[in-house]
Structure 1
Amino acid sequence: MKINFLSSAKVTLMGAALLTGVLVGCSSDDDGGGMPNPPQGDQSFYNVVFGVSSEGNSGTYAQALENISEGSISFDGQGFEVPSVRTARIYGSPSGDFLYNLSYGGGMIYKYKVNGGSSYQQLAETNVQVAMGTAYPRWTVVSKDDALVHTVNTENQYDDNGEYTFTKSEAVFQRVGLDDMTLEENNVIELPTFEDNFHIWRTDNPTIKNGKAYYGVAMRQFNPATGENENPETYKATTMIVDYPSLDNVEFVQSENAQGSTYGYRTPVYHADEAGDIYHLSSKPSKLLKITNGDYDNAYTLDLAEALGMTEVGANGWFYVGNGIGYVPFYDATKGRDKEDAAWGVARIDIYNQTAVKLNLPENLWMWYYQSGVVGRDGKFYMAITPLGQQGNIYKFDPNSESPDAFEIGAELDNGADSFYLGVY
């Protein structure tokens, strides 16, 4: 179902150039077309990223390695500390030669040249806090040239008698040029209130296709009796679509097959396949949904729990490798998603045949913060997998095999009692 709503109100950033940070000798970025997610194939470096403390305010460290198929990787006294107030939001370029970081809580975006080992050279930075109105926006690198930064502001509305009427939501969008971190289009769009007085309070993880940006959203309700927001995920799974790169002309499409949030958390959620269709996950119960020609294909759904033979499954997002194959970090929702539950695994999914296979990985996994995997030079899909408080490994999954054992074990990963790996970039 497609819903068109209010036209957008453009916001002109007077003196936007003043918001752009100091540049340090910056060469052009990777050649080629749009950025696949995950990046594919010809890396100079694999960037392995490590977090310390699972309480949100994590120290984040990166190392750049030419080979992660053997040996061992430790962050004891090694690694480049990526600046962030909370856990860094990181992306890598397809070549592995550049790393991009949003300092979540600091309102800064940085671009680094990867030199190898713990050596990362800052090339550019920009302050997006003024443009976004918050130091806590979210962002997604959507191509070799662009990133999209986004946040939602909400304000409860009351009538003349002081009675609550609805919650006003505004989405703020900013496009950032990755070459030298310039602030480009900026837009503020008033969002609608949905059925049962649900309002959008978060949006994230867009992908670009045919001049449109597809965003996941989360909704909630305000309870005037308690003065608190409530999060019953009983609303239809919803995608917000805006024109790209202008970031205007908002519309919404809703699925008849799933409920709840679609924005994910730190794992990518929305992907376009080779045919141009958009696939994304709903969060819990987690289902893969399909958008064709700008609207949901309600004849399609892949229920992860059903495909895996489980009762209920949740997931933050997934990685599309290509040719209909993807990998999903998921959790057993009957046990829980939190660290003390450690009920996570990884499944290989075939989006065309609508099948899923749980891979035979170690138990005691917690992947709530997991962000990235890459397709390596050998065509294998690389992830960093570590059980809680134990040493782990780089895993190289074979996309061409349906076997739950279709992986090779790569470099050993040193790990601590309250640390985790964000992924391979």
Structure 2
Amino acid sequence: MININYKWSIQKLIVLSIFSLCLIATSCSNDDSGPEEQEKKESVEGREKFTLALSASPTGETKVYTQTLTDVSDAVTVSYDGKGFEMPSTRTARIFASANGKSLFNLDYGGGRIYKFSVDGGETYSLKHEKNVEFAIGTAYPRWTKASEASASIHYADGRNATRVFDENDPTKFIRSDVKLRIMSVGLDNLAFGSIEEITIPVSDTDLKPYTMNIDGTDYDIYNYVGRVDAPVIAGNKIYYGISKSAYNPANPCSGRGCPRAIYSNVETLVLDYPSLTNPQIISTDIAKGATNGYRTPVSYVDESNDVYQIISVPNKDYDTKILKISNGAYDDNYDFNISNLLGFNVATNGWFYAGNGIGYVPYANTDESDNWFSDSVWGVARVDLYNKTVVDLNVPDNLWLTQYQSAVVKDGKFYMAITPTGADGNIYIFDTTSTDPNGYEVGAKLINLAEGTYIGIY
């Protein structure tokens, strides 16, 4: 668990989201394609209306209110004062939508249940399916990610209960930490459970070697191990799971605040065969340092050539933010896209968005402006070109907090984000994906902020 002093007031925990790009489309009666392919067709051909929602989390719950807009121009004003459908949630709900916006899926993080709703309009959501995943996956706090229009991945790495392995002949000599990972696929049609796979995550050569850390004047041998697994992406017959590391001090074991945090010397990703979810392997590269599991923002994407592009989550300002490339199951060490260097200042990020044809958008925090970037409003947005390795710092408003920004939408060569400064009204920003101008966008609908909040996405 990452230990961060959030310094959030109750007001700042109120966050707003534009949620779910929705489609109204009619399919031909003689179309015999399957539900996943049909949904993709509808998404591309009939994506005309936005469904907006309010997410407010002063005590951890997530409220959702839908409102259909066919016009997102600057003539439109959106407000959600006093409105909302409360999604089932013990803590902040983990939500995603189908490609056509007609279905909404929710993980009750902390409650261990998943839900499928139909989006009926206004404040009306019809519950279609509900399942308890706690007993299947072994925790009420799993992660889940939409893997395709047909299925999702629910997964949990039990890093807190890692098995510490010592030398059989010398019980004082530490060897490694073994961490169990449980994965289950879920069919999104009716939330049907697939087989549950439990694996021991392979220990990389890097994690078998200690590094020295001085704690209160004493040098200790510290060993890294996998603490979290999340943000999978499928490419071909492989699924790539991002990982983050925790640190273990055999001479003084502890967990939580005050314990050493992992120091990264490289980048690693867990790879499994797909769809069997077997044959675990760790791939790595030394051209960057940091985690690959992200936070709430997606981390990895597959481009049109079936290569995986992955942004590195950096735990401190000593590491540069880079985008890396994975081809044919291995890192391409010749591809080194350094966002920090190109912007000219130190940045951190929790993820990014791919808009197609090599173009992406990166919400970033300027760590030169704050050491507490995770909770401070020091964020911006940059346009990246994967193939030409160029970055454009976009002229979006100051005082942004994008730590929990979750989703964006691409439609007809335009990239849509909801951008709202902390404690102020904002707008929908409509970026032209072909433009390299820092002002290459239109300012769309006005978004009325409630208290000290921020919008967290368009789905």
TM over 0.5: yes
2:294 to 261, 264, 269: 264
Aligned-partner Cα distance in 2 for 1:357–1:54: 35
Q: Percent identity?
A: 40
Aligned ranges 1:349-360 → 2 under 5 Å: 349-360=384-395
Aligned ranges 1:133-212 → 2 under 5 Å: 133-154=138-159, 155-157=162-164, 163=172, 165=174, 166-193=176-203, 194-195=207-208, 196=210, 197-212=223-238
Residues paired across the two proteins, number: 393
Aligned-partner Cα distance in 2 for 1:332–1:169: 34
Q: Cα RMSD (Å) of the superposition? A: 2.4
Please name the residue that 2:357 is paired with: 323
Q: Single out whichever of 61-70 and 92-101 deviates more from structure 2.
A: 61-70
> Greater relative contact order: 1 or 2 (C-alpha under 8 angstroms, separation 6 or more)?
1
Q: What's the TM-score, normalizing by structure 1?
A: 0.86
Aligned-partner Cα distance in 1 for 2:71–2:371: 32
1:79 to 60, 80, 84: 84
Amino acid at match of 1:260: G
Q: Quick check: which one's strand share is greater?
A: 1
Residue 333 of structure 1 and its aligned partner are, at CA, apart by: 1.9
Please say if residues 95 and 105 of structure 2, whose CA atoms lie closer than 8 Å, have aligned partners that are also in contact: yes
Q: What's the TM-score, normalizing by structure 2?
A: 0.80
Q: Deviations over 1:337-378 (max 9, x none)?
A: 5465311011111000001111111100001111000113x4
Quick one: structure 1 residues 204 and 40, their matched pair in 2 at CA, closer, same or farther if it must change by over 3 Å? farther
SS of the residue aligned with 1:411?
strand
Matched, 1:227 2:254: yes
Q: Deviations over 1:136-187 (max 9, x none)?
A: 1111101110100111113242659975834320111010000000000210
Please name the residue that 1:380 is paired with: 414
Quick one: structure 1 residues 226 and 242, their matched pair in 2 at CA, closer, same or farther if it must change by over 3 Å? closer
Q: Deviations over 1:369-398 (max 9, x none)?
A: 11000113x431111111111111111111
Amino acid at match of 1:103: D
Please say if residues 150 and 188 of structure 2, whose CA atoms lie closer than 8 Å, have aligned partners that are also in contact: yes
Residue 259 of structure 1 and its aligned partner are, at CA, apart by: 1.0
Aligned-partner Cα distance in 2 for 1:347–1:167: 38
2:102 to 87, 97, 100: 97
Please say if residues 202 and 282 of structure 2, whose CA atoms lie closer than 8 Å, have aligned partners that are also in contact: no
SS of the residue aligned with 2:230?
strand
Residue 97 of structure 1 and its aligned partner are, at CA, apart by: 1.4
Please name the residue that 1:237 is paired with: 267
Please name the residue that 1:391 is paired with: 425
Q: Which residues of structure 1 form unaligned runs of 5+?
A: 1-27
Aligned-partner Cα distance in 2 for 1:49–1:349: 28
Please name the residue that 2:47 is paired with: 43
Quick one: structure 1 residues 404 and 40, their matched pair in 2 at CA, closer, same or farther if it must change by over 3 Å? farther
Quick one: structure 1 residues 47 and 200, their matched pair in 2 at CA, closer, same or farther if it must change by over 3 Å? farther
SS of the residue aligned with 2:54?
strand
Please name the residue that 2:310 is paired with: 280
Residue 61 of structure 1 and its aligned partner are, at CA, apart by: 2.1
Aligned-partner Cα distance in 2 for 1:409–1:283: 29
SS of the residue aligned with 2:416?
strand
Residue 98 of structure 1 and its aligned partner are, at CA, apart by: 1.4
Q: Single out whichever of 404-413 and 342-351 deviates more from structure 2.
A: 404-413
1:247 to 277, 280, 301: 277
Quick one: structure 1 residues 41 and 223, their matched pair in 2 at CA, closer, same or farther if it must change by over 3 Å? farther
Please name the residue that 2:26 is paired with: none
* Structure label with greater radius of gyration: 2
Q: Deviations over 1:258-287 (max 9, x none)?
A: 111110001111100000110001112311
Aligned-partner Cα distance in 2 for 1:339–1:254: 26
Q: Which residues of structure 2 form unaligned runs of 5+?
A: 1-32, 211-222, 315-319
Q: Deviations over 1:81-100 (max 9, x none)?
A: 22211211111111111111
Please name the residue that 2:69 is paired with: 66
Aligned-partner Cα distance in 2 for 1:211–1:290: 17
Aligned-partner Cα distance in 2 for 1:119–1:314: 38
Q: Single out whichever of 225-234 and 355-364 deviates more from structure 2.
A: 225-234
2:403 to 355, 362, 368: 368
Aligned-partner Cα distance in 1 for 2:381–2:38: 29
1:125 to 127, 130, 134: 130
Aligned-partner Cα distance in 2 for 1:409–1:121: 33
Please say if residues 302 and 354 of structure 1, whose CA atoms lie closer than 8 Å, have aligned partners that are also in contact: yes
Q: Single out whichever of 193-202 and 319-328 deviates more from structure 2.
A: 193-202
